[in-house]
């Protein structure tokens, strides 16, 4: 997908100004997710679980070659066709070849972020394949031709009213239809889609190397259907998704569900070992797995950013983030948004393409507290900021501003002078500022109003 992350400051200001309902919907949804996550963490020894999950993932990542070999061997043993894709184009070539070779006309998709990353939908449409997103939220945003705005709830930026209007226009449901009615309308259409599709496309939450098991977590049942009904199943899997042992799933399945939605387990979990066997009455005839690098091995080589590869895409950091809550995910300009997007995207697609993202944070640390695999997101935000400065990617006015700030903060005379000057500005002068850094600030916010007296003066007057 196209990376538009450098437009983050503008785009977030625009969302806040022009689409105030986004903030409302996203804040409501994420606060709700976050409260559930806290309750679900409190029910178990979540500290111990998180340390365990971190240690297991570190072990896998530091022995990744071994586990990839083991997983590929186990998958092939049970009849899965394993493919390898270095980048998005390679993945697209594999998918295109499969589509042509097998005469695929219709595909159903189970929510997968990596397929967004690899641009699979436009590819399939270009090949004349009818593509249906089957996760309800994904289906809604597919109708609107939007990318997902959240890893777990792709449509959380939309209000019930907006969805009612959309369904009214498309399917003629009443404008005041209950969510049940809307879901029933979508279900009917999508059910047909499952039964007619030749190909089901999924990602994978995990791949167990020991048993060659593809693991998928969900609540609706669309993933189970997408991987059961069509004659072909294709799973796109990032090379970092491995777990060593089948038994590791006990912690990873439950911890991921707790982190994502506050459940003890996703309503449906699929453990897939391969295509249907001769004695089975249904299931796909062929299962294809594509292991995708697309920047991951260079992230692995980075002695700080590699830790982002532990990510299980639970979105707990998005839900905990006061900055994400203001705009939702679209403003971040890449498939991975929120705190994890801010530290993962620079590694995957280059800091020069994503330089504002590491600044999209107040460094409050809530993301780290929420993260089930203890990714030190605040630390990594600082790492990327340092690198942006080192690589000369920060704007010139910022350097000048920081220099001025340093002067004001180290020299009392300069501080007094600067604060006096600010207070003497006429009212509203800061609303229409020409200083770029202040301009970016006021674009999405109310104007700045310096108080008429300095803190020192107030202090001397006894506050």
Partner 1 sequence: MKERILSCVRRALEHRPSPVLPDPLTLPSLSREEAVALFTERLSGNGGEVVRLPDLKGSREWLEGFAQSFSGAAVSRMVPPVLYPALPALPPEEAPLGISWAIGAVAETGTVLLSSREGRRTQLLPPTHLVFVPEETLYATLLEALQALKGDLPSAIGLHSGPSKSADIGQVMVRGVHGPGRLVAALIAELSD
Interaction site with ligand SF4 (CB under 6 A): 259, 311-317, 340, 370-373, 375
- Contact between 55 and partner 1 (CB under 8 A)? yes
Reference 134, options 149, 154, 156, 160; nearest CA is: 154
Binder among 99, 118, 136, 335 for partner 1 (CB under 8 A): 136
Residue 201 or residue 373: which is nearer to ligand SF4 going by CB?
373
Q: Which residue has the tokens 């799973």?
A: 235
**CB contact at 8 A, 308 and 375:** yes
- Contact between 260 and partner 1 (CB under 8 A)? no
Residues of this chain, 427-446, that bind partner 1 according to CB under 8 A: none
Q: Decide: helix, strand or coil at residue 291.
A: strand
Answer with the entry of ligand SF4, partner 1, none that 187 interacts with (C-beta below 5 to 8 A by kind): partner 1
**Which residues share a beta bridge with 290?**
83, 236
What x/- string results for residues 185 through 204 when contact with partner 1 is judged by CB under 8 A? -xx--xx--xx---------
* Residues 6+ away with beta carbon under 8 Å from 402: none
**CB contact at 8 A, 269 and 259:** no
- What phi, psi does 106 have (nearest 5°)? -130, 135
Please choose, out of 157-165, 196-204, 331-339, 395-403, the segment that lies near partner 1 by the rule CB under 8 A.
157-165
**CB contact at 8 A, 1 and 117:** yes
Answer with the entry of ligand SF4, partner 1, none that 315 interacts with (C-beta below 5 to 8 A by kind): ligand SF4
Answer with the entry of partner 1, ligand SF4, none that 311 interacts with (C-beta below 5 to 8 A by kind): ligand SF4
* Separation CA 344–CA 25 (nearest Å): 25
Residue 284 or residue 328: which is nearer to ligand SF4 going by CB?
328
Answer with the entry of ligand SF4, partner 1, none that 433 interacts with (C-beta below 5 to 8 A by kind): none
**Which residues share a beta bridge with 215?**
206, 271
- Contact between 335 and partner 1 (CB under 8 A)? no
- Contact between 420 and partner 1 (CB under 8 A)? no
Minimum distance from residue 259 beta carbon to ligand SF4 (Å)? 6
Residues 13, 436, 397, CA angle at the centre, nearest 5°? 130
What x/- string results for residues 75 through 94 when contact with partner 1 is judged by CB under 8 A? ---x----xxxx---x----
Residue 104 or residue 207: which is nearer to ligand SF4 going by CB?
207
* Separation CA 451–CA 454 (nearest Å): 7
Token readout for 429 is 């002068």
- Contact between 48 and partner 1 (CB under 8 A)? yes
């Amino acid at each position: 997908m196209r990376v538009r992350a450098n437009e983050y400051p503008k785009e977030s200001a625009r969302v806040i100004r022009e689409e105030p309902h986004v903030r409302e919907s996203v804040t409501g949804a994420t606060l709700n997710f976050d409260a559930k996550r806290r309750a679900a963490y409190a029910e178990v020894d979540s500290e111990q679980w998180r340390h365990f999950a971190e240690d297991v993932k570190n072990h896998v990542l530091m022995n990744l070659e071994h586990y990839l070999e083991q997983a590929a061997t186990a998958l092939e043993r049970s009849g899965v066709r394993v493919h390898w894709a270095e980048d998005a184009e390679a993945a697209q070539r594999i998918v295109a070849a499969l589509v042509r070779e097998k005469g695929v006309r219709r595909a159903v998709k189970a929510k997968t972020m990596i397929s967004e990353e690899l641009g699979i939908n436009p590819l399939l449409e270009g090949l004349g394949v009818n593509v249906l997103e089957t996760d309800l939220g994904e289906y809604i945003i597919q109708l609107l031709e939007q990318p997902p705005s959240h890893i777990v709830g792709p449509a959380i930026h939309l209000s019930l009213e907006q969805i009612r209007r959309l369904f009214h226009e498309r399917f003629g449901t009443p404008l005041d239809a209950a969510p049940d009615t809307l879901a029933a309308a979508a279900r009917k259409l999508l059910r047909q889609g499952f039964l007619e599709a030749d190909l089901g496309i999924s990602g994978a939450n995990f791949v167990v190397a020991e048993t060659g098991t593809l693991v998928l977590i969900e609540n609706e049942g669309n993933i189970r259907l997408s991987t059961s009904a069509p004659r072909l199943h294709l799973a796109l899997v990032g090379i970092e998704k491995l777990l060593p042992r089948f038994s590791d799933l006990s912690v990873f399945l439950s911890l991921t569900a707790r982190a994502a939605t506050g459940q003890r387990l996703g309503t449906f979990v699929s453990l897939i070992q391969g295509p249907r066997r001769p004695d089975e009455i249904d299931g796909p005839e062929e299962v294809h797995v594509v292991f995708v690098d697309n920047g991951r091995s260079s992230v692995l080589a980075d002695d700080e950013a590699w830790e982002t590869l532990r990510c299980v895409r639970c979105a707990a950091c998005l839900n905990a983030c006061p900055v994400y809550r203001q705009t939702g995910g679209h403003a971040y300009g890449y498939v991975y948004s929120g705190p994890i997007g801010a530290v993962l995207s620079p590694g995957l697609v280059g800091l020069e393409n994503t330089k504002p993202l590491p600044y999209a944070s107040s460094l409050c640390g809530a993301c780290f507290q929420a993260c089930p695999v203890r990714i030190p997101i605040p630390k990594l935000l600082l790492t990327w900021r340092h690198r942006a400065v080192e690589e000369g990617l920060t704007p010139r006015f910022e350097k000048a501003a920081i220099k001025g700030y340093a002067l004001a903060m180290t020299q009392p005379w300069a501080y007094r002078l600067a604060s006096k000057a600010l207070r003497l500005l006429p009212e509203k002068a800061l609303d229409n500022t020409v200083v770029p850094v202040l301009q970016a600030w006021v674009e999405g916010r109310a104007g700045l109003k310096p108080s008429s007296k300095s803190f020192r003066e107030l202090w001397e007057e006894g506050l």
